[in-house]
Amino acid sequence: MGFDGEGIGHGLSTIRLPPRVANLVKFIVNSEPKVEYDSARPIRPLIDEFTSLWTHQQLIRLLTVRDLTLRYKRSVLGVWWTLLNPLLTAAVMWLVFSQIFNRVSEDVPFIIYLLSGILLISTFFAQGVLAAGSSLLSGGNILSKIRVPGEVFAFTAGLAAMVNFLIGLIPLLIIMVLTGTPIPWTVLLVPIPTFAMLCLVTGAGMLLAAAAVHFYDVLDFTRVLLQLSIWLVPTFYPLEMIPEKLQFIIKINPLFSYLEVFRGFVYRGEFAPTWNFVYMIGSALFFLTVGVWVFSKSWRQMVVKL
Amino acid sequence: MTSHPRPIEVTDVRLAYQLARNRAGTAKEHLINLMRRQVVYDKLWALDGVTFDVRRGEVFGIMGPNGAGKSTLLKCIAGVLHPTTGRVIVRGSVAPMIEVSGGMNPDLTGSENIVLLGTLLGQPPAQMRQRVDEIAEWAGLPHMMDVPIRAYSTGMRARLGFAINTDRKPDVLLIDEVFSVGDEAFKIKSLERIKYLMSGGTSVVIVTHALKTITDLCDRAIWLDQGHIKEQGPPEDVVAAYRGSI
């Protein structure tokens, strides 16, 4: 009870106004700051996270640009590394694998097969998950001092990986033009697997981030696992190379479906089988939901350790 | 029924840090310890039943020895840490200066950090870009704006951080030992700004070891010791009680 603030409210309360009007006037004139933070507010998994991504759009954009430019700030070639990295990997793999496989599995040049796989699995998936997983540790200086939702940092890392992937599509399309490979109209549908992959990367990255805050060696394990995952799907080699009996090991991996859908759109000009679409979207939603849920539930314990 | 809600209300806050005995830093060690059933958690109560509130336009001091829970308390008010039990309510915008270069990135230049930190504090980036010159001017660093702040001295970083945090009038300003790194000129300048902000209704919470800061600046103060409030009230009394205990 009683007044302990100053302000115009006092003066107004002496004038008799209908209560509703008085409240409105007081609200406008006094413009009492609204409650910004209440530690007793219950956490709402998923709702809180998606709302905060929406309300922090400008911060996300800023952090993504910072992510993309800062990584190469001290190098001579700068952002061009974003383009060169997948190209060089593709070149090396091409040197190795074009000697091993004499039979051409598809009627496109092998380099296109390689580069499309590397961009999706290595540049987007593997690097994205790792970046999202370490995003809390690298953003610790901010997160332990300013109240910013942690999911913003994980999502930013996923977005940056997506931008790297999209930039990498430019040389892929250039190579297709140079090698006389027709560019199908289905290229316009590439945003579908791209968006699904963004969900997968963010979700898996958030799971990883939650674990990495508690035990730093989790990131080391993951680095090895991600290397392995690149080889567990036909990123570099044609699927036919694997004996028919064993191909299920590859097909059971959700990443295989992403590859099929993406390659179908980007140069085959065809839709991958329906089960690939179902598996892709299903796994994207599954990882996103579980990742965000776990992240949300463990955030308060995580931030203590940053 | 017009009781003005206080900008900061801290009600019976307790906060425990879980400390694993023979703490495992890696998942591998942790698994081994789990199998040996050697994971024993100790609870360290960094804050143990802290209650106070801060009024509009008031400077509130928090003092106490190392490890008393001062910074933990400030992080609770900043909304970074969550109390295990109890409740913290903060009304209005918060500018948390928990550490000298908190929220700043050493690889980014001065002006990039102004935009980044300003955006983290909730301003639109476009607006922050327009504020760069003025903030740099106030911090006395206009010639350093294109230099990564890695090259700044601690004092320069503190000046920049203070300038960004106080650029738009926050409703609540949290300051943790920032004055100890600045020179006299910076101290005088920032005190002037704090007074200006207070006149506009900003509440300031200062954490410090320096008893002089408490008596010179604060309207009220608490003395925190091992997570408890040992004494609270007018700064002179609190400081006297603290002095008497040493």
Backbone torsions φ then ψ of A88, nearest 5 degrees: -65, -45
In this structure, the number of other CB atoms found within 10 A of the CB of residue B204 comes to 24
Backbone torsions φ then ψ of B86, nearest 5 degrees: 90, -175
Q: Is A78 on the interface with B (CB under 8 A)?
A: no
Q: What ipTM describes this predicted complex?
A: 0.87
Whether A26 shows a pLDDT value over 60: the answer reads no
Mark yes or no for CB contact B103/A40 under 8 Å: no
Q: B104 with B160: CB under 8 angstroms?
A: yes
Span B50-63, pLDDT tens digits: 999 999 999 999 99
Residues in chain B with CB shorter than 8 Å from the CB of A2 are 3
Ranges of beta strands (E only) in chain A are 35-38
Which residues contact residue A42 at a Cβ distance below 8 angstroms, ignoring those fewer than 6 apart?
none
Quick one: which H or E segment has residue B138? Answer: helix B125-139
Cα atoms in the 13 Å half-sphere on the side-chain side of A212: 24
Q: A157 with A67: CB under 8 angstroms?
A: yes
For residues A84-102, give the mean pLDDT: 81
A228 pLDDT band, cuts 50/70/90, is very high
- Please report the residues numbered 48 through 77 in chain A whose beta carbons come closer than 8 angstroms to any beta carbon of chain B: 58-59, 61-63, 66, 70, 73
Mark yes or no for CB contact B7/A73 under 8 Å: no
pTM, to two decimals: 0.87
Span A245-254, pLDDT tens digits: 999 999 999 9
Nearest chain A residue to B200 by CA: give it. A7
Residues in chain B with CB shorter than 8 Å from the CB of A34 are 91-92
In angstroms, the CA A241 to CA B203 distance is: 69
The structural domains of chain B, with segments of one domain joined by +, span 8-245
- Please report the residues numbered 123 through 182 in chain B whose beta carbons come closer than 8 angstroms to any beta carbon of chain A: 124-125, 171
Backbone torsions φ then ψ of B49, nearest 5 degrees: 80, 60
Nearest-CB residue to B116 (from A7, A36, A62): A62
Q: What is the pLDDT of residue A84?
A: 85
Top-confidence range, A68-72, A141-145, A278-282, B93-97: A278-282
Residues in chain B with CB shorter than 8 Å from the CB of A1 are 1, 3
Which residues contact residue B229 at a Cβ distance below 8 angstroms, ignoring those fewer than 6 apart?
B50, B51, B52, B222, B223
Q: Which two tokens stand for residue B59?
A: 């400077």
Q: Is B7 on the interface with A (CB under 8 A)?
A: yes
In this structure, the number of other CB atoms found within 10 A of the CB of residue A214 comes to 16
* A287, A289, B124, B155 from A206: Cα distances, Å: 9, 10, 26, 36
Which architecture characterizes domain B8-245 according to CATH?
3-Layer(aba) Sandwich (3.40)
Cα atoms in the 13 Å half-sphere on the side-chain side of A48: 16
Mark yes or no for CB contact B76/A39 under 8 Å: yes
Whether A50 shows a pLDDT value over 50: the answer reads yes
The structural domains of chain A, with segments of one domain joined by +, span 42-305
In angstroms, the CA A294 to CA B105 distance is: 28
Q: Which two tokens stand for residue A39?
A: 């530690």
Nearest chain A residue to B90 by CA: give it. A37
Mark yes or no for CB contact A141/B102 under 8 Å: yes
Smallest Cα distance from B116 to chain A, Å: 7
In angstroms, the CA A169 to CA B168 distance is: 42
Q: A187 with A181: CB under 8 angstroms?
A: no
Mark yes or no for CB contact B87/A40 under 8 Å: yes
Mark yes or no for CB contact A215/B108 under 8 Å: no
Which residues contact residue A45 at a Cβ distance below 8 angstroms, ignoring those fewer than 6 apart?
A292, A293, A296, A297
Span B181-201, pLDDT tens digits: 778 888 888 888 988 998 889
